[in-house]
Amino acid sequence: MKYLKQFGLFCWDFVVGDDWRLAAGVVVGVGLSYVLAHRGMNAWWLLPALIVVGLALSVGMVGRGARQVASKAQTGESPQQPIEDS
Amino acid sequence: MHEFLLVGATFFACLVEMVEALTIVLAVGATRGWRSAIYGTVASTVVLAALVMTLGPRLAALPIGSLRLVVGGLLLVFGLGWLRKAILRAAHLKQLHDEQSIFEEQEHEAREVERTSGAVDWYSFTVAFKGVLLEGLEVAFIVVTFGGAQHSVGMASVVAAAAAIIVLIAGLVVRRPLVQVPENTLKFAVGIMLVTFGIFWSSEGAGIQWPGGDAALVPMLVYVAGASLLMARLLRRTGTLDSRREAVA
């Protein structure tokens, strides 16, 4: 059971990576495209738009986190959000 | 067009991952002897080949619509992970991959561990096996999904093998990490290609008709590349990782 759980976590980390919200966005985007396509609307623009917005939000959050680290360091507070290292 | 991009993405993905694997194998091989490191490398290569040979034909048997929906979605999620990391690296918000420092770190660790008696040095075997397997799994994933969605797993496998052989030969010649390979740039390019194809195939699998058919891939590639470069540029304006580290220190 322990190994199965470890394997599951490895697979999750391998495919989904650092931000699960991007994966959730893909599921929502592909699902919406499917529903719209099967209701007669060819929404080819939907997934590309969602992906770029999702990616921008994801990397933007890291940028904001890094700015908070820097500003807290300047004001002498201990940083709450680490910068990604690996 | 599809074939050209398939070859490019698979080749460069395999190239960068094998450069990383080579660094690990070189570090343990040079420090503790080559035999066990080579055994570990060969064993993991066999596992990876078996994985591709098992999954590839099964995917090829699936109907193309469902295959592209599932595989395209998986490729998109996986590619977004690559592209996200590449953007953060380009914006200096994530450490750049540095083969020389990884080599030195691995070499140091390999020296610390005591050698066991016997024909096989299990430390070297395990480190080489794990290193090649973990790096190679990403390549196997790309070969199976990228190749599978086009029913070209065979071609993708040949391209990946060619890249691995090139890295192996280069590694044997120079006997040190291939620091000259622009890994971070290549990873950025591969991430863009994976996301482009992921969007294209998963949309097609969902029933979307692309305006212009396959020709829509080119503007899509330009769109993803442009948006990614813009994100990296805007993020870079917020300051570098080093400057923030200095602020923290």
User: pLDDT per residue over B44-64, tens digit each?
Assistant: 999 999 988 888 888 777 787
Q: Give A 25-84 residues with CB within 8 A of chain B.
A: 26-27, 30-31, 33-34, 37-38, 42-44, 47-48, 51-52, 54-56, 58-60, 62-63, 66-67, 69-70, 73-74, 79, 83-84
Read off the pLDDT of each residue in A74-85 and give the average, rounded to a whole number: 56
This prediction's pTM: 0.81
Convert B95-123 to b/e letters by CB count within 10 Å (16 or more is b).
Answer: eebebeeebeebbeebeeeeeeeeeebeb
d(CA A49, CA A56): 11
Read off the pLDDT of each residue in A18-37 and give the average, rounded to a whole number: 93
* Whether the Cβ atoms of residue B17 and residue B99 lie closer than 8 Å to each other: no
Task: Express as a percent the part of chain A with pLDDT over 70.
Answer: 86
Residues 6+ apart with CB under 8 A from B76: A26, A30, A51, B194, B195, B198, B199, B202
Which whole-number Å values give the CA distances from B107 to A46, A73, B40, B110, in the listed order? 49, 35, 17, 5
d(CA B145, CA B70): 9
User: pLDDT per residue over A29-50, tens digit each?
Assistant: 999 999 999 999 999 999 999 9
pLDDT of residue B1: 64
Q: Give B 56-75 residues with CB within 8 A of chain A.
A: 69, 72-74
Tell me whether residues A47 and B87 touch, CB distance under 8 A. Answer: no
Does B78 reach chain A within 8 Å, measured CB to CB?
yes
d(CA B194, CA B200): 10
Shortest alpha-carbon distance between residue B168 and chain A (Å): 25
* Whether the Cβ atoms of residue A32 and residue A46 lie closer than 8 Å to each other: yes
| Chain A environment of B220 (Cβ under 8 Å) | 48
User: pLDDT per residue over B64-108, tens digit each?
Assistant: 788 888 888 998 999 999 899 999 998 888 877 777 788 888 878
Nearest chain A residue to B81, by CA:
A17
- Per-residue confidence at B239, pLDDT binned at 50, 70, 90? low
| Chain A environment of B198 (Cβ under 8 Å) | 26
Q: What is the ipTM of this complex?
A: 0.82
Mean of the per-residue pLDDT values for chain B?
A: 84
Across A26-30, B120-124, B183-187, which has the greatest mean pLDDT?
Answer: A26-30
Task: List the beta strands (DSSP E) in B132-242.
Answer: none
Q: Domain locations in chain A?
A: 18-86
Which structure tokens are listed for A71? 């500003």
Determine how many CB atoms are found less than 10 A away from the CB of residue B60. 16
Tell me whether residues A17 and B80 touch, CB distance under 8 A. Answer: yes
d(CA B113, CA B134): 22
Question: Does residue B157 have a pLDDT over 60?
Answer: yes
| Chain B environment of A43 (Cβ under 8 Å) | 208
Among partner residues A33, A56, A59, which is closest to B203 by beta-carbon distance?
A33
Task: Express as a percent the part of chain A with pLDDT over 90.
Answer: 45
Q: Range with the lowest mean pLDDT among A25-39, B130-144, B195-209?
A: B130-144
